[in-house]
C-alpha cells in the first residue's frame, strides 16, 4: 500500500477549514477564501463576507470541529467532519461532509451535507469511526469507476441482482445509523423501509471525489418523499466496496442564494 503526499490544494483547504472553524481567524480566512466564494449550503448566503461575518458568533458558540477523513482530488478536497456546539449549523452535534474547490491558491466554492449525530447502529458502528488512512493511490481511478458504476447501476438503475459486482459479499462494514453490517443488514433495512412506506430513490450522480481507497459520491434523489441530497463515502479493497458512511439531508424549497445545493 502506498501513501499519497499532501497536495497544495489539500493544504489550502485544510488551512481554510482551520481558520474558519478552529481558530475563527477572519484575517487568515480572508487570504484563503476568494471574494466571490460560491456557497451551496442552503442556509448561508453566498460570498466571502457572509462567512467571515459568522466567525464571531461561531467562536462565541463554542463550536468544535473535528475532521476524521480528508480526500484530495484535483481541485476538490473533501472532509468528513463532526461538529459539536453546532446549533448555528442546525443542531447541537452534527456529522457531515464538506467539499471545497480550490483555484489560484484560494477556496472558491463550498458544498456540504449535515445531519444530527446518532447513536451507534445495530452493528455498533458510528457515523465516523473506522479506518481513516488513504492508501492504494494507484487504484484511485479504478475505484472511482467502480463507485460510479455502483451508483448508476444499483442506486439509479435499480439493478439489484448486480450488487455483488460492486459490494463485497464477505466484508461490508456499515456506518448508516439504522443499518447493520453486510448485504443481509442492507436488505433487512430496505425491507423494513418498504414495509413502513419509506422509499429511497437516487436520480442523479453529481460529483465524485476520489483518493486511493476512498470515494465520496454526491447524489440527488428522494428519501421518504422529500427531495434529498445523498453523500455516500465508500472504502474499497480488492475491487469491491467494503465500508460505507453516509449523510442524507432534505433539500429545502427556498435557499439563501441562487447557487443550488449541487
Q: Is the pLDDT of residue 4 over 80?
A: no
- The predicted-structure confidence for 48-60, as pLDDT tens digits, reads as follows 999 999 999 999 9
| Alpha-carbon torsion, ordered 66, 72, 73, 79, to 10 deg | 0
Mean pLDDT of 215-241: 98
As given in the structure block, the three cell numbers for residue 133 are 488512512
Q: Helix and strand tally (H, E) in the chain? A: 5, 10
SS3 163: helix
Q: How confident is the model at residue 5 (pLDDT cuts 50, 70, 90)?
A: low
Size (the chain), residues = 262
First-residue to last-residue Cα distance in the chain: 33
Q: Is the pLDDT of residue 64 over 80?
A: yes
| Helix (H) or strand (E) run with residue 83 in it | strand 76-84
Sequence ranges of the chain with CATH classification 3.10.450.50? 8-116, 137-250
> Rounded to 5 degrees, what angle do the CA atoms 44, 111, 146 make?
160
Q: Whole-structure pTM over 0.85, yes or no?
A: yes
Q: Is the pLDDT of residue 1 over 50?
A: no
Q: Is the pLDDT of residue 124 over 70?
A: yes
CATH 3.10.450.50, domain 8-116, yes or no: yes
Q: Alpha-carbon distance 10 to 52, whole Å? A: 21
Q: How far is CA 170 from CA 142, 161, 253, in A?
A: 21, 16, 41
- The predicted-structure confidence for 161-174, as pLDDT tens digits, reads as follows 999 999 999 999 99
pLDDT the model gives residue 240: 98
As given in the structure block, the three cell numbers for residue 107 are 477556496
Q: How confident is the model at residue 6 (pLDDT cuts 50, 70, 90)?
A: confident
Mean pLDDT of 219-235: 97
User: Which of 134, 78, 135 is CA-nearest to residue 109?
Assistant: 78
SS3 219: strand
CATH 1.50.10.10, domain 137-250, yes or no: no
Amino acid at each position: 500500500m502506498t501513501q499519497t503526499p499532501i497536495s497544495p490544494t489539500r493544504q489550502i483547504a485544510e488551512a481554510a477549514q482551520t481558520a474558519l472553524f478552529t481558530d475563527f481567524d477572519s484575517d487568515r480566512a480572508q487570504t484563503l477564501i476568494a471574494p466571490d466564494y460560491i456557497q451551496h449550503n442552503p442556509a448561508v448566503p453566498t460570498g466571502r463576507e457572509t462567512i467571515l461575518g459568522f466567525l464571531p458568533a461561531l467562536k462565541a458558540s463554542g463550536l468544535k470541529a473535528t475532521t476524521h477523513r480528508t480526500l484530495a482530488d484535483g481541485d476538490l478536497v473533501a472532509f468528513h467532519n463532526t461538529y459539536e456546539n453546532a446549533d448555528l449549523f442546525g443542531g447541537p452535534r452534527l456529522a457531515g461532509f464538506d467539499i471545497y474547490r480550490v483555484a489560484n491558491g484560494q477556496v472558491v466554492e463550498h458544498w456540504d451535507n449535515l445531519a444530527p449525530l446518532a447513536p451507534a447502529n445495530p452493528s455498533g458502528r458510528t457515523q465516523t469511526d473506522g479506518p481513516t488512512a488513504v492508501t492504494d493511490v494507484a487504484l484511485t481511478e479504478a475505484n472511482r469507476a467502480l463507485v460510479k458504476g455502483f451508483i448508476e447501476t444499483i442506486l439509479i438503475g435499480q439493478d439489484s441482482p448486480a450488487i455483488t459486482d460492486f459490494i463485497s459479499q464477505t466484508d461490508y462494514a456499515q456506518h448508516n445509523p439504522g443499518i447493520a453490517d453486510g448485504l443481509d443488514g442492507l436488505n433487512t433495512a430496505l425491507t423494513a423501509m418498504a414495509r413502513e412506506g419509506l422509499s429511497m430513490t437516487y436520480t442523479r450522480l453529481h460529483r465524485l471525489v476520489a483518493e486511493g481507497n476512498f470515494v465520496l459520491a454526491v447524489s440527488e434523489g428522494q428519501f421518504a418523499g422529500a427531495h434529498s441530497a445523498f453523500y455516500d463515502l465508500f472504502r474499497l479493497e480488492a475491487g469491491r466496496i467494503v465500508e460505507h458512511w453516509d449523510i442524507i439531508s432534505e433539500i429545502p424549497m427556498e435557499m439563501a442564494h441562487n447557487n443550488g445545493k449541487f
